[in-house]
Structures are given as C-alpha cells and as structure tokens.
Structure 1
Amino acid sequence: MARTLDEDELIEHWLLIGKEPDLLTGRTGPSKLALVLWLKFFAQHGRFPEGRSELPDEAVAFVAGQVKVPAAELGLFASSTCSTSSTATASPCASTTAPSPPWTSPPATRAPESCCPP
C-alpha cells in the first residue's frame, strides 16, 4: 500500500511556485493538469512517471485544486496526435486532440519525436 502524503510534502513538492503558473497559459482541462503533474514529478525524480500509478492520489487532487481542473479529468488525457499504426489513413499529425501522457502508449506504438513539426 502506498504511503499517504502529508500537507507539508504536498506543499514542498506539488505546489506551483514562481513563474510555473505562466507555463499553463493556453492550456485547458486535462492537459493543464497533466503538465503540472509531469513537471512536479520530474523535479522530484529526474524522470517522467511511467504510469498513473506513480502519481500519488493526494498529489493529483492537490494539483487539480490549484489548476481548477477536476482530478478525474486526468484520465481524459489519452488521445495521441501522432500514430505509427499501419491502419492510419491520415497524416499522423493531422489530429487536433491532445497528446498522450507518456504512460498511455507502449513504446512500441509511439511515433518518433520527429513525427510532428513544431
């Protein structure tokens, strides 16, 4: 069973500080929540989470409150903009949906980073 984070840990590791809120400009809903969770997890561990199970529920709820996005919407952030599937008929970058968090697609199905132009 995972350890519960206390309020001091949430504030120390998961509170948006300084200019971090500026990074959210133009983002809405689940992409805003996911971005903060990735950044804060990366700051603590030096890597991105491998799955949702690595993100403490308390941290997800705490961050969701800061960005004013329901924590349950994190699960909606699962559509990929790039696909290497052989059944794809359109350009892999034609989709307008938000990109997948790194833990929603197995590495074998993820497109190379050069897939989508900036």
Structure 2
Amino acid sequence: MGRVPGLTLERRQQALGMLVAGMPVNDVANHFGVHRCTVSRPRTRYQQTRSAKDRPRPGRPKKTTQRENNYIVTSSRRHRFWTSGKIAVRLYNTTGTLVCNRTVRNQLRASGLRANRP
C-alpha cells in the first residue's frame, strides 16, 4: 500500500483561503478528504514563510531528463550488445549530456533491463 498523496499546490492554497476565512481545520480537512494534520501543517508553514509552495527537498539532482532516460532504454533494446560506455557516448553525441557508465547502468536497472551476458 503506497503513501496517500497530500494536497496539490492549488488545493493547498484553497485550504489556506478557507482557514483565513475562519473555517475550522477539521471542516477544511473533511472538505478535501484528508487528515487534519495535512491541512494544519501547511497553515503553520505559511505563517512562517508566507508561501504555500513546497520547500526544497534533499537529494542529488538528476543528471538526465526523462527523454534522455527513454533514449538510454531504447538504445539498449535496439542494440542488445552495446556496452553502457557505448550508450553513454551515443547519448553525449546525440544530446550533449555527459553521463558515466554507472548512470546508464542504473537507468537500465531501474527500467527492468539487465546485462545479456553476466
């Protein structure tokens, strides 16, 4: 069972508007069908930062875009015996994005592909 998503930015702004108008937290939460903490936390954050937007999350930024990831997977499927190094070079020649072999292998593994020869 996955995590239940919270409120989108638009719905968060609507909830904050309802709270500013004087609606109780429980009523706003029932309106959106979420727990009251899901409404209460953005209100507290808004009072501190004056913004309803998400704060930056930790983690390293992605090196490749979704389109480049699709290129890696497609290249691997079309050319079954290409090495990760060759796919990385082809990606650089095509898109100008420089990635290492490990990035290519990680993307292939995330897509469910494995090496043809151990």
Output the TM-score relative to the length of structure 1.
0.28
Greater RCO, CA 8 A, separation 6+: 1
**Greater share of helix residues, 1 or 2?**
2
TM-score with structure 2 setting the length:
0.28
